[in-house]
Structures are given as C-alpha cells and as structure tokens.
C-alpha cells in the first residue's frame, strides 16, 4: 500500500530474484558533464534514472548544451558536445537536491568567461560548499555564497593551476578540481588525505584526457581537448547496497544482480558483506571505458559484526545508512567511526539513523562522528520519517523486512532523488 508521500513495508520471509539496476549516479554525472565539453557527440546508455542526474542535464541545457533522450527503455542520452567553452545561462542553474551537480559542475563553470549562479532546493541550500569555493578561488574564480552555502554566484575566469592538498577526502571535490584543471594554465596537482572513488579520473581518460596518478596525488594538464564517446553506464552499486543488505537478512535468500559496477574503489562494500557472512560470487566480468561490470550471485548467511573506520568509512560513506539499519540483526553489531561527513548530507544521517532505530526499539549509541549499534536485537514495525533523505527512506525499508509488524515510512517520495522505481523493485524481490 502506497501513497504519494508514504509507503508501508510489511515483514518478509525471504528475498529472491534477479535485478538489473539503473546506471551508477556517480558515473552518470561525470559522463554527462564531460560529454558537454567534449568535441563531437556522445551516446550514454543506462544513464541514471534519479532526479539528481536529471538535474545535471537540466543545468547543462541552461549552459547551451544540446542533448536528448533516445531510448527511454534503456535510458539512452545523446549529448552534442560544445567543446571547452559553454554559453552564459539566462537564469540560475537549478541543481535541485544534487550536491554532486553543484560541486562538480562548479569546476567547469569557474573556467568559463561568464558569470553564473548555481542554486538548489532547501536541502541543498544547507550543504557546505567551502570545500570547492576555497580551491576554485585560489585558481582565480570569484565566488560569492551564503556563508559558504548555496546559492553560489561564480564569476568565471581564466584559471591558473594549483597544487591543492584536500583537507577532507571527497571524490566530488577532487572531480571538481580535475574539471577546473582542464580549463587552467599549466598542471594542477591534487592530493587526497585518503584514496576516494576514482570515477572522475576514469571518465576523463575515457574522453581522451591524459592524467597521472602517484599514490594519493593526481595531476592534470590544462588545455587538453576531449572527444565524445559511446558508453554504457554500469548498474549503480549504491542502489545495489539496499538489495544486498536485504538478501543478507535471510539465510535462504538468492539474488542475482546483473551488469553491476565493480570499480575497485567502490568494491569495499562487497568485501565487507562477505566478511560479515553474505555469500557473493562474481561472474561475467567485462571492462567498458575503464569501468568494470560484473554479475553478482548472492546467497544469505548468518551475519557477523564489524567496525568501519578510517579509509573504510570514506569508501562506504553512501552505504553506511543501510548497513546501520541492518546492524541490530547482526550477531555482534556494527560500529561506525570517522563518519562526521554524514552530518552534512541530505539530512544529518547520524541523527536520522539513530532516531529511526530507536523508534523501532533498538539500542543505539550516537556519537559526534558515528554510531555504535549492538547486535542480536529485534526490531518492531512503527511509523518512521525519511527526513527528506532518499537513503534514509530506502535503508529503513530494508530494516522493516525483518521487523515485527508493518512499518510506515513518511516522505517516501524522496527515493526519486536516486532510484524512482526502488519500492516496486523491492516488492518484486520479497517473498511473504
């Protein structure tokens, strides 16, 4: 039973079936942005169905980029590249709820010869942007903001290269600066405190850009031209996390996920779930433009506990909500450290997780930078809030599958940000 703004999730007895997921959001954003500044056309198959990636396309159209949908069944987007120079927008660029759009696209906008404004919804307007404002300003852009938050008013400039040591590990910030580095004089060098997902680097190479990496430093030379590509976006691993965790709740579950992203900088989730007791085998591995695809065969098992900290936290930052939501069902529980970044996502995810777990009857220790959730607990169905956060809504629909009684999740429409069909697909995979 479902309405526009709430969904009821009933307990399940198993998870079984096969699913093919919409395109990875991280890759979809980057491919679209690079296709926009490439020479010639690009064809992107299995582009993400989420509202965030649609926001990127809306912004590109406002910047004079021509694109169209060719095949709605396979979510094909064809983009006619404009080269490195875009067109001044006649109105603010509407980034919607997408932090990825505003942070990464700002690197391209900062190197144009016009001024633009980047804005978004109420949630996005609360999110910190100093992490891109500071280095882009050092490169020569002039950026005004609301105390470091959107809207951003960017006066583009001929950028100069910099050597930037990132204070916080962020793949979005790294990608923003790589994009800006394309439009800068000389060689831009970016050092990460921890290695983050490398979709920006892989995508740039796919479009013909020469990039050098040594350890945690990546270098890009300005002025390189990009050539359009034909590419398929692999299935979204962050969306797969919810179904993997659902399968992990039931010892007899059997799940197949086809043509899923297998990028090594994102595969830590699979390693962790296997260490915890989920049985996963990977078949049909292929490589397309530097990104690995694979088909997963998944079987449930008894779930042990784990501690997630340091580099693992950075690698799993998007998957922590669903891992935390199933933590009470594990044998030893889960502990999350070094996750303060979760407090400045679409919601304060640490607080949102703790609030909803407690509402379901769980014991939770909330910390400034994480959570400690004991194992061996049972949860009860109740009324929960999504807090306007797609990952919270999806995470607790998974927790609800093993709860006692029905769970009502308010604000369920938030899943459209990343995966509009999520609840219907989950229903297809559950046995009752």
Catalogue the active-site residues.
318
For 20, the token pair is: 């093919």
User: SS3 string of the chain?
Assistant: CECCCEEEECCCCEEEEEEECCECHHHHHHHHHHHHCCECEEEEECCCCCHHHHHHHHHHHHCCCEEEEEECCCCEEEEECCCCCCCCCCCCEECCCCHHHHHHHHHHHCCCCCEEEEECCCCHHHCCCHHHHHHHHHCCCEEEEECCEEEEEEECCCEECCEEECCCCCHHHHHHHHHHHHCEECEEEEECCCCCCCHHHHHHHHCCCCEEEECCEEEEECCCCCECCEEECCECHHHHHHHHHHHHCCCCCEEEEEEEECCCCCCHHHHHHHHHCCEEEEEEEEEECCEEEEEEEEECCCCCCEEECCHHHHHCCCCHHHHHHHHHHCCCCEEECCCHHHHHCCCCHHHHHHHHHHHCCCCCEEECCEEEECCCCCCECCEEECCCCHHHHHHHHHHHHHCECCEEEECHHHHHHCCCCHHHHHHHHEEC
Exposure b/e, 343-358, CB count within 10 A at least 16 = b: eebbbbbbebbbbbbe
Residue with tokens 């800006």: 180
For 136, the token pair is: 């882009």
């Amino acid at each position: 039973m479902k309405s526009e703004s709430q969904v009821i999730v009933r307990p399940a007895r198993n998870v079984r079936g096969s699913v093919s997921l919409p395109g990875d959001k991280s890759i979809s954003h980057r491919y679209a942005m690079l296709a926009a500044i490439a020479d010639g056309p690009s064809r992107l198959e299995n582009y993400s169905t989420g509202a965030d990636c649609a926001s990127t396309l809306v912004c590109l159209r406002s910047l004079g980029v021509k694109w169209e949908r060719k095949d709605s069944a396979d979510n094909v987007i064809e983009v006619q590249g404009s080269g490195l120079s875009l067109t001044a927008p006649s109105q603010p660029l509407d980034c919607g709820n997408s932090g990825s759009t505003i942070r990464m696209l700002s690197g391209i906008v900062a190197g144009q010869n016009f001024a633009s404004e980047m804005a978004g919804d109420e949630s996005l307007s609360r999110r910190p942007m100093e992490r891109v404002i500071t280095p882009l300003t050092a490169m020569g852009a002039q950026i005004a903001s609301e105390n470091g938050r959107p809207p951003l008013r960017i006066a583009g400039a001929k950028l100069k290269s910099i050597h930037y040591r990132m204070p916080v590990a962020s793949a979005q910030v790294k990608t923003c600066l790589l994009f800006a580095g394309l439009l800068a004089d000389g060689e831009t060098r970016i050092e990460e405190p921890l290695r983050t997902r490398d979709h920006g680097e892989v995508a740039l190479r796919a479009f013909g850009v020469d990039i050098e990496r040594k350890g945690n430093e990546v270098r890009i030379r300005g002025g390189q031209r990009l050539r359009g590509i034909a590419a398929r976006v692999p299935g979204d691993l962050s969306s797969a996390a919810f179904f993997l965790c659902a399968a992990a709740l039931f010892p007899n579950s059997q799940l197949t996920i086809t043509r899923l992203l297998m990028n090594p900088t994102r595969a830590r989730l699979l390693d962790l779930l296997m260490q915890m007791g989920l049985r996963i085998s990977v078949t049909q591995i292929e490589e397309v433009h530097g990104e690995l695809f694979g088909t997963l065969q998944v079987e449930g098992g008894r779930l042990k506990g784990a501690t997630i900290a340091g580099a693992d936290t950075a690698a799993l930052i998007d998957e922590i909500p669903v891992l935390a939501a199933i933590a009470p069902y594990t044998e030893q529980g889960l502990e999350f450290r070094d996750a303060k970044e979760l407090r400045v996502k679409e919601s304060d995810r640490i607080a949102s997780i703790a609030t909803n777990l407690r509402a379901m009857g769980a014991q939770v220790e909330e910390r400034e930078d994480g959570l400690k959730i004991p194992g061996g607990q049972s949860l009860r169905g109740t009324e929960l809030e999504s807090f306007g956060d797609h990952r919270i809504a999806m995470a607790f629909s998974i927790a609800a599958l093993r709860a006692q009684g029905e769970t009502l999740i308010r604000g369920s429409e938030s899943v459209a940000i990343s995966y509009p069909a999520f609840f219907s697909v989950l229903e297809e995979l559950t046995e009752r």
